Amino acid sequence: MSSLRSSVLLAGGIDPSGGAGLSVDGAAVRALGLHPAPVCALVTLQDGTRYVDARPVSARLVFGALQMVAERLAVKALKTGALGSAANVRAVVRFARQHRHIALVVDPVVRSTTAGALFDASAVALLQRTLFPLATLVTPNLDEAELLTGLPCRTPDQMHRAAQALLAYGPRAVLLKGGHLDGPQLVDVLALDDGTVRRFTASRLDVPEVRGTGCALASLCAGHIALGASIEDAVQAAAGVLRDAMSRASRVGDGPRVLSF
């Protein structure tokens, strides 16, 4: 009998345009040879340029789906994105506490790139207080890090301080994604709970705007961790795969380009 193909659970939101959220998460995980298992926590009404509305899925359904998948598939990691409600945060926390052998990557998506609010303040606070301590890796972008810490995140040194502040909530590591920094260099800051801090730098690609990069980077990190990589190696490998996907990004409509893995 052949061995089971490893799976990555993906709990997050549906973007009907396919440019972000679970569609991108699944493509990223599949590009690594892993099986993506998507669990929809939030349904959004948006395209590449406009946000109209969003509705969370029942927490009972979210928890039930996570449990059913974990019972049947060889799940090595869970990546969370837009969870949509405090109830869904609690559902994921309950699941994560019962499955501590599954690596947890938390992408604290609180707003869509089309400027829609996907979380209220109480849910954000709950996310920090209850889900972050269970996380292998937390992956906020600059805006999310500023919201979560109240600190500015517009230079690499500021990113370092914000990452340290987020580590205080208890995750094993924080990757602060610097794709929205001004300037020709991309800078991501990784801080680990053993005191290690690394800056990953790369020249900015000369490509038009590409959507879904934050979702993809977090999912690629989860995938590489599922394959057995250390957190540092997973982040470095994920950045390389994402860069290749960005260089091949394609137009599918009037909005930003979408990643091509």
Distance in angstroms between the alpha carbons of the first and the last residue of the chain: 30
Question: Domain 6-249 - what CATH class?
Answer: alpha beta
Other C-beta atoms lying within 10 Å of the C-beta of residue 53: 9
| DSSP of 33-47 | TPEEEEEEEEEEEE-
CB 136 within 8 A of CB 105: yes
Place of tokens 């009972």: 60
Q: Which tens digit of pLDDT belongs to each residue from 100-143?
A: 999 999 999 987 665 556 777 788 899 999 999 999 999 999 99
pLDDT tens-digit map of 60-92? 999 999 999 999 999 999 999 999 999 999 999
pLDDT for 1 equals 41
Nearest 5°: phi and psi at 156? Answer: -55, -40
126 touches 89 (CB < 8 A): yes
Which pLDDT band, with edges at 50, 70 and 90, does 181 fall under?
Answer: confident
Hey, is 231 helix, strand or coil? helix
Contact 37, 69 (CB under 8 A): yes
**What does the domain layout of the chain look like in residue ranges?**
6-249
Helix (H, G, I), strand (E, B) or coil at 53: strand
**Residue of 82, 102, 132 lying closest to 225 (CA atoms):** 102
The answer, yes or no, to whether residue 170 has pLDDT greater than 90, is yes
Indicate the DSSP class of residue 227: T
Map tokens 């060889």 to a residue: 74
Identify the bridge partners of residue 182 per DSSP, sorted by sequence position.
none
pLDDT for 28-67, tens place per residue? 999 999 999 999 999 999 887 888 888 999 999 999 999 9
76: part of which helix (H) or strand (E)? strand 74-80
What is the Cα–Cα distance from 48 to 51, expressed in whole angstroms? 8
The CA distance from 238 to 220, in Å, is: 5
